[in-house]
Every structure is written in C-alpha cells, then in structure tokens.
Amino acid sequence: NGATKGLKQAHPDRVLGMHSCAPVPLRSLVEIVRALDTSDETANEARAFTERLGKQTIETKDRSGFIVNFLLIPYLMAAVRMYEEDFASREDIDEGMRLGCGHPMGPLTLCDFIGLDVLYAVCDSLYEEFKRPEYAPPPLLKRMVVSGHPGRKVGNGFYDYSWRKLGR
C-alpha cells in the first residue's frame, strides 16, 4: 500500500516481514523476514515484540517461502503426487509420516488443514521465483481447488469433513 511504499523509500532500514504459521494461537513460531536494508535494530525490535506475545522467532532473508514453507511445500507436494499417481492410499501416506516420522498429522491431512487453495497460491509463488519442479503445483491440486474441494474449511479435500457441518 501507499504507506508501506513511503516507509520503504524513506526508511528502508525499518522494513521487515513477520510470518506466523496457522493457526496462529496454537503455533509458537514467528519468522522474522529481513529485507535487503533491514537494520539490526529493527530486527531486534521485532524479535522483542514477538517474544512479548509469547512466541519464539527464527530469522530469514526475504524470499518466497521463507524457511518453513520453503521446506514444507516440497514435502506436501510429494505426498499429493504420490496419491495422484496411485502409489499409496491417502491413509497410508498419512500414517506413514505420522507413525514413521512422528509428525502430528500426515501430509494430506495437513494439506486439508492449511487449505488446498492456500497451498496452490504458495506453490505458484515459490515456482515463480525458483522455477524448480518440486514447487510446481501438481495437476490434482489444481483440479481439487477448481472443483470446490479446498480442504477442511468447506468440508472436503483429500478427506471428507462433512461431519463438521453437522455440528458433531
């Protein structure tokens, strides 16, 4: 917006980004994203503010995906491709990572939780910047989003969440 543009031009040392993972109340992490000209003072102020909120910080440079999504998206898209190619059932893919790696939920459940539409947008952003195939959204992901199956928030994605609509 205009205010941000003005700040960037007048005080580029005072500009940074902060990224929280959803759901924000349940996640303790905030990524502090330093722009090219962000000062140490600005980063330290952001870190102190975040800690006052009871959150922990990590720091990254400004690029698509930051740290968390840069690592997470290829993992999630590999699971989507695996399911799309009928390599394994969605349940076995999820249970493999839950039981075999100690993840709190499997990758396809996590996709539904995040929202397939959100993931598609993140994939587009990452692929646009890096042009690496692991960031390209799989065709199944696009078909699900276009067909109105964006995940848990509307009751369907890789799994059926219609029970949520019934208030159970």
Average pLDDT, the chain: 92
Do 85 and 60 form a contact (C-beta atoms < 8 A)? Answer: no
CB neighbour list of residue 29: distance below 8 Å, 6 or more residues apart: 20, 21, 55, 56, 57, 58, 68
CA dihedral 22, 104, 71, 25 (to 10 degrees): 20
Q: Considering only 16-30, 56-70, 72-86, which range has the smallest mean pLDDT? A: 16-30
Which pLDDT value is given to residue 11?
A: 92
pTM for the structure as a whole: 0.86
19 annotated active-site: yes
In one-letter notation, the amino acid at residue 59 is: E
Which pLDDT value is given to residue 165?
A: 59
Give the residues across from 163 on adjacent strands: none
Catalytic site residue from 11, 19, 103, 149? 19
Could you tell me the end-to-end alpha-carbon distance of the chain, in angstroms, rounded to an integer?
42
Which pLDDT value is given to residue 163?
A: 75
Which pLDDT value is given to residue 166?
A: 55
Q: Encode pLDDT of 139-167 as tens digits.
A: 999 999 999 999 999 999 999 998 765 55
Token pair, residue 139, equals 């065709």
Is 3's pLDDT higher than 80? no
Do 77 and 110 form a contact (C-beta atoms < 8 A)? Answer: no
Which pLDDT value is given to residue 9?
A: 78
Is 118's pLDDT higher than 60? yes
DSSP code of residue 18: E
Do 126 and 135 form a contact (C-beta atoms < 8 A)? Answer: yes
Ramachandran angles phi, psi of 29, nearest 5°: -95, 140
